Amino acid sequence: MMFSDQFYNLISAKYQKIAKERSAYISTVNQVIIDHCSQGNVASWLDVGTGDGLRILSILSRTNSISRISVVEPSLKMLNVCKEHLRHLSHHVDYFNCSIEAFPATEEHDLITCLWNVIGHSSDPFIFLKSIRENMTINSLAIFDCNNSFNIRQYKLDAIRNMLKALLRPKELLSFKLSKCGYSTNVRILNPFQITSLLKRAGFSEWKLFYIDYTTGRPTSSCCGQMLVLAW
């Protein structure tokens, strides 16, 4: 088993193909970001765990308020793919090959996104969210999605087991093996109660949780979808 940055180094060339498998889900999450940006109060955007940069291009093509983007990507090979995809952007883009915990914050951002279970690759979700909060202004919004350990549609009987574990050991953080293209890494998997607790501890004052079907991209219930979080 390897660290997440090593894992993404190895799959960077095939990341676009992997993302297409969840295109409906990704499009729904993207639309939430676009709707927020359309309100016109987002000039600076910090994207954590950017991947290949194609989501940034998709979102920017449908909003015009953003002028400055900070890209944080721990995988060097993935970051290089991202730079190639974003090379023609007229926006000011800064690239950082690090985690959010090591991000050299010099200014706050209007919008911070951590998309497609980036928090699941962190060594400590609390420190991860605390680092996000420290890069926000009083008017900033953080948007992130993460795997829901209670998602029966995705995890079947394991979701039931996860619910029982949550009753017996509510603070225990579970993990699962993510395998793509012949490579594997361990990924954390959280439940709605843990996310709520972590947000509160990290200093967020308010948040909203939504649940999105991982296959169809449609809104669903707390036991049938992945978690989408808007926090401030």
- Per this entry, what is the length of the chain? 232
List, for residues 136-149, the tens digit of each pLDDT value: 989 999 999 999 99
Asked if the model's pLDDT at residue 1 lies above 70, the reply is no
Q: What is the mean pLDDT of the segment spanning 69-93? A: 97
Asked if the model's pLDDT at residue 12 lies above 70, the reply is yes
Please give the pLDDT value at position 105. 79
**What domains are defined for the chain?**
4-231 (3.40.50.150)
Residues with Cβ within 8 Å of residue 48, at least 6 apart in sequence: 72, 100, 103, 112, 113, 114, 118, 132
Asked if the model's pLDDT at residue 60 lies above 80, the reply is yes
Tell me how many helices (H) and strands (E) the chain has. 9, 9
* Alpha helices (H) along 86-156: 125-134, 152-155
The DSSP bridge pattern shows strands 92-96 and 109-114 to be unpaired
List, for residues 89-137, the tens digit of each pLDDT value: 999 999 999 999 999 877 889 999 999 999 999 999 999 999 999 999 8
Asked if the model's pLDDT at residue 2 lies above 90, the reply is no
Please give the pLDDT value at position 106. 75
